[in-house]
Structure 1
Amino acid sequence: MKKVAFYTLGCKLNYSETSSIARMFEQKGYAKVEFNESPDIFIINTCSVTENADKKCRKIVREAQKINADGFVAVIGCYAQLKPKEISEIPGVDAVLGAAEKFRLADLIDTFEKTPSNAPAWVVASHIDNAIEYHTSYSLNDRTRTFLKVQDGCDYPCSYCTIPLARGKSRSDSIVNVVNAAREIAARDVKEIVLTGVNIGDFGIREGERKESFLQLIKALDEVEGIERFRISSIEPNLLTDEIIEFVAQSKRFAPHFHIPLQSGSNKVLGMMKRRYKRELYTERVAKIKSLMPDCCIGVDVIVGHAGETRELFEETYQFLNELDVSYLHVFTYSERENTAALAIRPIVAKSERAERSRMLHILSDKKKRFFYEQQLNKQGKVLFEDEVQNGQMLGFTENYVRVAVKYDPLLINETKEVRYDHINEEGLMEVTETEAFVLA
């Protein structure tokens, strides 16, 4: 029995796809092992979002060679689609598969041979227009929470982004298939499903036509027995409708937690980014959420140092976020990407200035999160406890994404308990006291 190991870089979507590809290998008789257990085959699922994609890929390939110099190394994912030739020339790489080919890897692997030293790897990567099939994927690495892919690709040509070039056009699973996958996951005693995709609000496109909607999807999932809660990973503000917000507010299973990409709080920068909304719409979305769910957690993606973002325009973003009733920020430092429209925009922001702007927003994010946690004190929430220990305490998330720490108790793993928020510890985690429904060990 050959052994295969996987390493995943990037987003939750990549993790869901890696998990599904791993199951394909197991169904063909391969034994899935850890990366350091001398596997016969190493599969590296790459990301193209950060500027260090090449450096990270090379490092992981080197580590694979140290573990087993005779092991076969295959590279898949977004970076593999964008730069197949470049990756094929990395010493130690034996095969590179593009977006349309990666789900065929388990079938193709037997046709590959270990490439001689200094010879380029096999490349099986067609043009991105060929990536038209949809592959249902979900992760099963964590028995508490699963990432379920419902949509792939993107039709939004944002000026800074290569994802449409790496994943192709927007396409989706059917509601029937997603519901069936959710039931399969529920049968494995998983309590929470996180819906993921490239642009999940655009759910419903199949064979180039819109056939269903994201609102229809979440209404169907809300009826799935055995899953205690669903969480929406990220949704564009222009696709987050009043109807979706209103449904989540009264649903049985959807968590009061939204992650909404903003990218900039300056309308001028949003225009240069080719985003499909202005900041006024974003303000309306946040206000709508808070009017119906005052304790809802709202996360924000923001990019600093985009080409054309002057200091004054950045300060617009900072002030906008400072006044916005949101809970935390995910801050990304802009980095140039080949074949993107942003390369033609001026002025270019110095990397030192990008780093300073990032530092400022990280500090603001910490303040926002602390304030959100302080607002929860003396209230109650339901925690799904995980098999994760930090400083002798086990951790879990509430429905509104408050990170809770309690004394370790193995009986609590994968259990949902109601707690009362007591105080915030030095690590910024919420500590809790007993309620009638939950007695601390």
Structure 2
Amino acid sequence: MTPLPITKVLVIGYVWPEPHSSAASGHVMQILETFLQQGWDITFSSPAGPGEHKADLTELGIREVPIELNNSSFDAFVSELAPDIVLFDQFMMEEQFGWRVEKHCPDALRVLETSDLQSLRNARHQRLKERLKASDDANDFNELFAPALREEFELMADTDLAKREIAALYRCDLNLMISEVEIELLIEQFGLPQQLLHWCPLMVEPLTTASPAFEDRAHFLSIGNFRHAPNWDAVLWMKTTIWPLIRAQLPEAQLHIYGAYTPPKATALHNAAQGFHVMNWAEDALQVMSAARVCLAPLRFGAGIKGKIVDAMICGTPSVTTPIGAEAMHASHPWPGAVTCTAQEFATCAVQLYKDEIQWRTAQSQGQALLMDRYQRAIHGPALIEKLLYCQQHLPQLRKNNFTGSMLRHHAHKSTQYMAQWIEAKNQKKPPQ
């Protein structure tokens, strides 16, 4: 019996994965591990330089091949590789390389991993900036957290970023969406066909060890990559407004803030006398999360779902967050901690969770139930593989059904191709340095 050919996958990353630095990279690693479990042959490429905390993909059996922007060397590379599936990590990679993949590997399934809708996150950031300009009240953000999907659409629709991002979604055969709210927004407001979207949230394994007990934990914790603007904004809100309210009720309280790529402006906020500790990067995020009693995630804007909160649930650590932090994460389940809209409520709920062991244990058990219901790798991994195989088997018809995507590829890829070829020709004429 002739063995079935091994599926070849090319992943084109905006950056090389750093799973200990960001949830987005963690999600990419979960997808790669799902592919490896199928015995698929995987090549990971990126035009970016390696980051400080880059994962060693070669240890997992994944080839690492650097690539260049606006360079026809990619054409020869992808033609020789002849992948069955090409996964673009973030829409900018589809913009840069999608036309080359289509030209040289037309039968390859083209998939976009979004992590979150960047145009939604950017629109919410602009709304926060306008709110802060209009009012110096750093406490009440009820209106900021309350827009309907139509209002979100109105904020996004005229932006260049949304037009670029939505066009990339249409041009791909399948888009992996981490947030059900974003799926609803894309279908109901932007009119994307549901067949183009697949819900693929963060995927976790069941817990194998008991987490530390209430009495064995101490301090509040906040964690997140400082290069991610929502995380930096959250730190500023804690420093100026939320943390003083917590300390007024718990004078000995300490907040430990961890994050990759800590800039000097964040280090400057460190103040041991105020219990405000900027700790830099955590080599093991789950270890520091398990040692903390309460996780704080006061996010005033953002998109997708939050890796820090999934980590908190894994570690049995209750969390206090905002409607932005909780968005698309818990469906009908009770939140494992508290969701608040004002700094005062945030501080009050954080202190109550910190002091009340019964409330804390209830929140911990709610987090475990939520994890098991919505984030199991054993459920989402096979569902992803099934969806990819279905799309491969029905690819010609799926592309016919997606006329808008075909039209966008016809026009956009031509202009992108000519621009890339012009840049390459220009670069070749530059005298050597």
TM-score w.r.t. the length of structure 2 is 0.30
TM-score w.r.t. the length of structure 1 is 0.30
Structure number with higher helix proportion = 2
| Greater relative contact order structure (CA < 8 Å, 6+ sep) | 2
